[in-house]
Structure 1
């Protein structure tokens, strides 16, 4: 095998000491005369070629810098496909030796032959990587010796003319689309695999564009061949996998997706058009398809083929519309342009990961630690609602920080929550048997006339009477239990319940408030009124 040193050794090719002749066909273009020659591979090591050093400035040469990896790739291609390769025509200028005093252009044409004069060299304006690759290939594969390299020669009238040639060759060229390259690249395993997949899968066979890499508004397809090649690489993730098994797996995945994504199956039935799907849904966008392909790859080795449909079934409930708030910032950015709402698809690496996390959670799959870390940065409602069984094992216990409490009762400061069947405990209050009225130890003194002592969760009765602490009912004002009576269905004595209810419904019938009350104060307009009302109710009940 050749290394970079093999290429570097070609950087100084001495001028030939004698003339070299080739059979040629003369032609004429706008720039001047030209000559088409076929140089045998066996003669390439002897061919005089001008090599520019890496630090040579562009204005002093008429070719790009040599990319060694590209030349090595062409060498490998020629060796592997020695019986079936094809190389396009190279373009070169014949440069006269600057130290030569001979007149002319460094070359002669006579009787159907082109002769390179001693001291002249070739400068490849287009095809220098093909020439270097072929030069290395002949040293590796002897069967290439009788093959020829087509070269179109131009006399080097001036450096500016050669530079103009380079511009015309490269600036006016337009390479084939990636999809078209995949369609015609029968030498690459992935391209062949992608072409086979599209012919065996109904949704892909009907809606894949084999020429374009992007789909315009009126295009009648949902996928491009170039995107499908990228998806199959993600889904297979192993070039050593059996071709037929991989083909069956990938085809099964697309058939399942056709079932679980409603508008895909509707497209096959022609009840919705491809432009409508691309306009209103995210299911055929590159970011979504790449996320689905990565999920499929994760499931491939963990589950049997017949289990896959059940795993993807929850995707039936996903809202694929671009207007779904879950997509905002994840794979869609909404903006207004001239008063029109526009959905821009986000397709960076983080967006693919974010879409993968979303779909995995919807499918009930466990996310990875890296996915968790990226999703946690958002602190979104979706992140806070991720079920514990979808979290990495180390984070399963942390989900309680983000979930809302499941209990229906609210917390009372200073009051510990008791079991459902027991009366809650109040600090400073000793609870006796259920049939005995609770007593508050140490409460013997009267409260000041202008203030009510604060007991968490309990409002005090009037100063003249020792209060009895009722059972605390979460979310409702505490009731005063005066005597032992048959409890009602909600646990309160009927007499107290009826009095409290009557006092609340008819506040005008309350007994007069003692002169020591706080009536002289001007009550607040909002929050103070309910407290005063409850205080009056307590006084009325004790009266």
Structure 2
């Protein structure tokens, strides 16, 4: 049988209770909680063949994994296919229901930890962590079989029964924390919209020094006016579907937000140290994510009609008369729910509708539906 660089399948009969064909992996042996485990590099083409999911049809208490969320797969697969020279996948973790025979290369030091791990082909490999990566690899290989020669790290544990596998899943996910959206935007160099948001922050006097680059929520005493994630979504909404020449998106976004700044005197008051950022956020909603998103959508409508600066700036002028204070009862149910600013999709749309009415802009059918439901008291 063909020999793999990182994993081989042999026809040798080995002296164990069951004989047959084996997978042989070059591996490193380790110890956790008194149990041996092994780390190897596995060619991607073997991943769909040997690793299985827990049965979806079983009830949760009889499974050792959550049900595969197929909605996540297109994005993961696209990520691999779009970045064949620059994708990164962390290790898979699997339990092996079968014999694992490790032969070290020596008896001392590194040689004792390195060797070959033989696992019968009849053994059952159950993924404890990485089922979506495994499924995405399978889909990506169908589109680009050349990826099959690349490898992914795999951590093998001996299967000690359902309870142990369930505990492994719980432990592996117990302390997993999704990073804040702002730091994701800050570190994402593939996303052109993230690049634009960072460029605007770095070049515009409106935002430079006043944007929280790491966190997506501002503390009550923060001296920042905005979060990077809020500016990102606002700018994304602004430029969606707008035709701009390559490299000019950041300039257009900067021009737009600086025009908005001239209509919101509190922003400038903070920069002049006449008003603290915390007081502004406490008393007004125009620096919150929902407002930036809504202003981005308003700008998008104007830019789609005309990218001529003089035209869309003139049409923005009525925003100067909008009462952005939290004390304005018009915001209740639109941007504020139960005394708190709400960033739900419905509330963003209701805020957009409010601004459209001030600017004399019509509502789309979907916006009108949301507005009618709000006026009926259904929202």
TM-score between the two structures when normalised by the length of structure 2: 0.82
8 Å CA contact 1:249–1:305 kept in 2: the answer is no
- Tell whether 2:370 aligns with 1:368: no
Summarize deviations over 1:324-369 as a string: whole Å, max 9, x none: 34444543467xxxxxxxx433444454344334333444x23337
> What is the CA–CA distance in structure 1 between the aligned matches of 2:138 and 2:373, rounded to whole Å?
55
Q: Which of residues 235, 244, 268 is equivalent to 1:265? A: 268
What displacement does 1:253 show?
1.4
- Tell whether 2:79 aligns with 1:86: no
Q: Which of residues 203, 208, 224 is equivalent to 1:205? A: 208
Q: Equivalent residues in 2 for 1:377-388 (5 A)?
A: 378=375
> What is the CA–CA distance in structure 2 between the aligned matches of 1:376 and 1:51, rounded to whole Å?
43
Q: Which of residues 249, 265, 269 is equivalent to 2:252? A: 249
What displacement does 1:240 show?
6.4
1:472 corresponds to? none
CA radius of gyration, larger in: 1
1:22 corresponds to? 25
> What is the CA–CA distance in structure 2 between the aligned matches of 1:169 and 1:87, rounded to whole Å?
16
Summarize deviations over 1:73-104 as a string: whole Å, max 9, x none: 333322221111111111101112xxxxxxxx
Which aligned runs of 4 or more in structure 1 are off by greater than 6 angstroms? none
8 Å CA contact 1:108–1:117 kept in 2: the answer is no
8 Å CA contact 1:283–1:320 kept in 2: the answer is yes
2:108 corresponds to? none
Q: Which of residues 321, 325, 329 is equivalent to 1:321? A: 325
> What is the CA–CA distance in structure 2 between the aligned matches of 1:122 and 1:138, rounded to whole Å?
20
8 Å CA contact 1:291–1:356 kept in 2: the answer is yes
- Tell whether 2:345 aligns with 1:352: no
Unaligned runs of 5+ in 2: 1-18, 105-114
323-332 or 165-174: bigger deviation = 323-332
Q: Secondary structure at the match of 2:352?
A: helix
> What is the CA–CA distance in structure 2 between the aligned matches of 1:369 and 1:139, rounded to whole Å?
41
Q: Equivalent residues in 2 for 1:216-255 (5 A)?
A: 216-238=219-241, 241-255=244-258
What displacement does 1:372 show?
6.6
> What is the CA–CA distance in structure 1 between the aligned matches of 2:364 and 2:198, rounded to whole Å?
36
Quote the RMSD (CA, aligned, Å): 2.8
Q: Equivalent residues in 2 for 1:352-501 (5 A)?
A: 352-363=348-359, 365-368=360-363, 374=371, 378=375
Unaligned runs of 5+ in 1: 1-15, 97-105, 335-342, 380-543
Q: How many residues align?
A: 346
Which structure is higher in helix share?
A: 2
Summarize deviations over 1:284-327 as a string: whole Å, max 9, x none: 12332222212111110223212333322333333332223444
Q: Which of residues 32, 35, 49 is equivalent to 1:32? A: 35
2:299 corresponds to? 296
Q: Secondary structure at the match of 1:275?
A: helix
Q: Secondary structure at the match of 2:208?
A: helix
What displacement does 1:166 show?
0.6
Q: Which of residues 106, 110, 126 is equivalent to 2:103? A: 110
What displacement does 1:259 show?
1.2
1:306 corresponds to? 310
Summarize deviations over 1:355-389 as a string: whole Å, max 9, x none: 334333444x233375677379749xxxxxxxxxx
Cα 1:176–1:368 shift into 2, 3 Å: closer
